Structure formats: structure tokens, C-alpha cells
């Protein structure tokens, strides 16, 4: 299918989402890939990963870019050559990118029961809030994948711990918004977290808070 959805919760910030239903051959059509991207594609043994990689290049085109406009720094973070900020995510049949004037992070995670088993590895401050919920799977997925993984992508500093340094304020799922913070190594950053369910997945992205 073509572009699944676009979201704009901030001026000069847009999220582009793709639901991968197309074949790999279809997704290759019309794309001009850099030599580096061609080499990366050939090293991917999973067809699902190749389709995800290609769908992200279609999302770039929707945003007005080409594969040649995207590059990665030595720490693995993606960048655009016009100075705009970008973050990228891929989970099974969904991919998304966010392009913004501000620093950003985005993540999509599949909703799965096992997140309740691994929750003690990434929640601390949030435990009191989560244990009151009747069905915590969606909320835990917002905290884990959306807020904390997105903070890690944005901040990109070694040693940052999800449990020790990343905090998510209590939220209601129907409001699709919360606040998160990174408190680490003398830094104290506050972020707006926007989240939304996409079928059996949860997507969330973060931007510096308005009143940080």
C-alpha cells in the first residue's frame, strides 16, 4: 500500500508511516539507491528487513528526500544533508520516519505479552503507576519502546540506562501524550512524548518539551 499515515503535532515536524504489504520487487521500483545502501541491502538475509529498508526509502521520498540525502554518523545515528533532524524505526510490517527542525526520536514496537516479564529491566520510577493498570501491555509498550527507546535514539550517549536515567510521567492512553525526562551525567532534559496505536503496534516519538 502507499503511505499509511502522516502526523503533525508540531510545526516543522512530520511523521511518515508505512505499512509494508508490497513485495520486495515492488518496493525496489523507482528507487535510486546509493552504493552504500545497495551494499547494505545485499548483506540483509531477511526479506522482511530488506522490505523495511526499502520502504524507509519510499518514506524519504514522501518527505521530499532521496536515499542520497541520508547518511549515518560514526555512532550510527541517521542525518539529513540539509541539517534537518531525522529518526527512523522499523518493526515487522511497519516503518516510520520523523523529520523535524528539533532533535527527535521515534520507535515502533509490537504489542506482546512478554513485555510484562521484562518490565523490571526498564521500569523503576514508573512501577507504582503501572501496577495499578488492569491491562498494562499498551502502557508498558509506550514506556519501553516509545518513550525510553526514543530517548536513547535522540540522546545517543553511552552509559544511558533506561531504568536508572530515563523517566516517564504517568499518562492516560486516550490522551496520546505524556512527558519524559533524561537525568544523566549532569544533564536534565524534558521531552514531549506523543504516542499512537497502529493496529497491533504502538508508535511513539519525542521532541524537546515546549516548557523545558
**71 bridge partner residues:** 79
At residue 170, the 3 state secondary structure works out as: coil
Q: What is the pLDDT of residue 127?
A: 86
All residues at 6 or more sequence positions from 39 whose CB lies less than 8 Å from its CB, including other chains: none
- For the segment 20-30, the average pLDDT, to the nearest whole number, is 94
Strand bridging mode 13-19 / 177-184: unpaired
Please measure the distance between the N-terminal and C-terminal CA atoms of the chain and give it in whole angstroms.
39
Give me the pLDDT at residue 19, please: 96
Confidence of residue 25 (pLDDT cuts 50, 70, 90): very high
Q: Dmax of the chain from CA atoms?
A: 51
Q: Which three cell numbers stand for residue 3?
A: 503511505
- What strands lie across the sheet with 94-100, from one edge to the other? 3-10, 13-19, 94-100, 85-91
Task: Single out the residue of 94, 122, 89, 60 nearest to residue 197, CA to CA.
Answer: 94
Q: Is the pTM of this model over 0.85?
A: yes
Where does the pLDDT of residue 9 fall: very low under 50, low under 70, confident under 90, or very high at 90 and above? confident
Architecture of domain 3-102: Alpha-Beta Complex (3.90)
pLDDT of residue 157: 84
Domain ranges of the chain: 3-102, 106-208
Alpha carbon distance 115, 41 (integer Å): 30
Amino acid at each position: 500500500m502507499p503511505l499509511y499515515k502522516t502526523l503533525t503535532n508540531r510545526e516543522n515536524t512530520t511523521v511518515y508511516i508505512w505499512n509494508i504489504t508490497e513485495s520486495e520487487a515492488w518496493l525496489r521500483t523507482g528507487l535510486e539507491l546509493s552504493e552504500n545502501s545497495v551494499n547494505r541491502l545485499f548483506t540483509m538475509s531477511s526479506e522482511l528487513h530488506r522490505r523495511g529498508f526499502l520502504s524507509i526509502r519510499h518514506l524519504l521520498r514522501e518527505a521530499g528526500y532521496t536515499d542520497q540525502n541520508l547518511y549515518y554518523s560514526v555512532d550510527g545515528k541517521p542525518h539529513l544533508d540539509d541539517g534537518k533532524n531525522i529518526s527512523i524505526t522499523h518493526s515487522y510490517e511497519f516503518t516510520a520516519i520523523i523529520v523535524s527542525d528539533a532533535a527527535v526520536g521515534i520507535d515502533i514496537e509490537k504489542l506482546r505479552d512478554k513485555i510484562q516479564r521484562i518490565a523490571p529491566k526498564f521500569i523503576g520510577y514508573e512501577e507504582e503507576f503501572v501496577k495499578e493498570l488492569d491491562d498494562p501491555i499498551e502502557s508498558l509498550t509506550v514506556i519501553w519502546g516509545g518513550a525510553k527507546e526514543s530517548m536513547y535514539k535522540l540522546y545517543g550517549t553511552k552509559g544511558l540506562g533506561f531504568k536508572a536515567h530515563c523517566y516517564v510521567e504517568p499518562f492516560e492512553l486516550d490522551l496520546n501524550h505524556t512527558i519524559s525526562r533524561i537525568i544523566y551525567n549532569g544533564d536534565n532534559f524534558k521531552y514531549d512524548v506523543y504516542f499512537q496505536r497502529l493496529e497491533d503496534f504502538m508508535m511513539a516519538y519525542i521532541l524537546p518539551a515546549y516548557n523545558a
